[in-house]
Structure 1
């Protein structure tokens, strides 16, 4: 039974090394590491990515797949749920680094399966909503910059896009600001700003082309 880390990054600011380091710091050890670098999760389904295809070929019953968050598998509700249904059907265990969630494809208990599938649906919907909000905020930031090329961009964000996604995901799962600050290294004040005005926090990244 193998443990496989799957990592995906779509921008130059995000790093695969960070995803692996974060997973190792959480106690995970891997037999294989598969990486899709510079691949969009919005426009490219997992099965269409080079290492994503390998993942489908490699995973067997009893294997464990580790991902930073389910949005590494996709940013579309239908795509994520279809992928997870296939992995659950195969008897694969999927574990997330953020929140340390476990989705057990080997479970036969109907109640446990119902809770598992409901959580998958929630996380898939959150991933798509986040992707759509990010796209709209980027468009707004770009439009603002084009309209006022000489405009003051404001203070450069103290967080990367990867950190921003991490904070949004953790807030969505109900973590406290203090716990998120400890886990991400971002100040509580910054997390409060992201929580209270996520669109502006995202737009700030877009204005600075982050």
Structure 2
């Protein structure tokens, strides 16, 4: 039995070091760390990612797969749910760093299986909805930034990165408390409140500063 960390790193802020630190702080240790770099969340299916293919080849029954959240395992709802169910059928145990959730095939009770599959579907749908909302916020921020002249006043430089903003929005969408979000993202509560209350403005600030 081996434990794998699978991380997708699609921007300069989404570093593997940050994701490894989060996982280790949650109590995980790894035999293998597999990283997909420069991959957009909604552009490339899991099986077609260079390291995604490697992961499919390496995982065996009894192995543990650790991911930051279920959105790491696919580009959209269908991709995420298909990937998770395929791994479960293989006997792989999937664990998330955020909220420390576990998905496996240990139960044979049909009601428990139905609840598990419904939860997977809900989480995958929420992940896609959040990604689409973030992309719309990015478009709005870019459009607003283009309306400004090159020497326009940009305001105070954001105290958060794009990865931290995504962490805040992901956890907020799942109902996580502000204190826990601030601790996980490494931000002040005031910054968390500002991001949650106006994600478009938060994205615009990052865009204006080209962060």
Matches within 5 A, 1:92-171: 92-149=92-149, 150-171=151-172
Q: Which blocks of at least 5 consecutive residues in structure 2 are unaligned?
A: none
Q: Deviations over 1:52-101 (max 9, x none)?
A: 00111111221110001111122411111111111122121110111111
Cα shift readout 1:4-43 (whole Å, capped 9, x = no counterpart): 1001110112201111111111110111111111111210
Structure 1 pair 199–114 and aligned structure 2 pair: CA distance change class (3 A)? farther
Question: 2:164, 2:185 within 8 Å by CA — same for their partners in 1?
Answer: yes
Kindly indicate whether the alpha-carbon contact (under 8 Å) linking 1:75 and 1:127 is maintained by their aligned counterparts in 2.
Answer: no
TM-score (norm 1): 0.93
- Alpha-carbon offset, residue 202 of structure 1: 2.6
The Cα RMSD (Å) is 1.5
Does residue 72 of the first structure (1) align with residue 69 of the second (2)?
Answer: no
| Cα contact 1:137–1:206 (8 A) shared by 2 | no
Do the aligned residues in 1 keep the contact of 2:45 with 2:74 (CA within 8 Å)?
A: yes
> Residue in 2 aligned with 1:6?
6
Superposed displacement of residue 112, structure 1 = 2.5
Supply the distance in 1 between the matched residues of 2:205 and 2:129 (Cα, whole angstroms): 19
Q: Which moved more, 1:164-173 or 1:149-158?
A: 149-158
Contact 1:41 1:73 in 2 (8 A): no
Alpha-carbon distance change, 209 to 116 in structure 1, aligned in 2, over 3 angstroms: farther
Structure 1 residues 74 and 209 mapped into 2: Cα distance closer, same or farther (>3 Å)?
Answer: farther
What's the CA shift for 1:156? 2.1
In 2, Cα distance between equivalents of 1:124 and 1:202: 23
Cα offset for 1:108? 1.7
Measure the CA separation in 1 of the matches of 2:200 and 2:114. 33
Aligned pairs for 1:23-102 (under 5 A) are 23-102=23-102
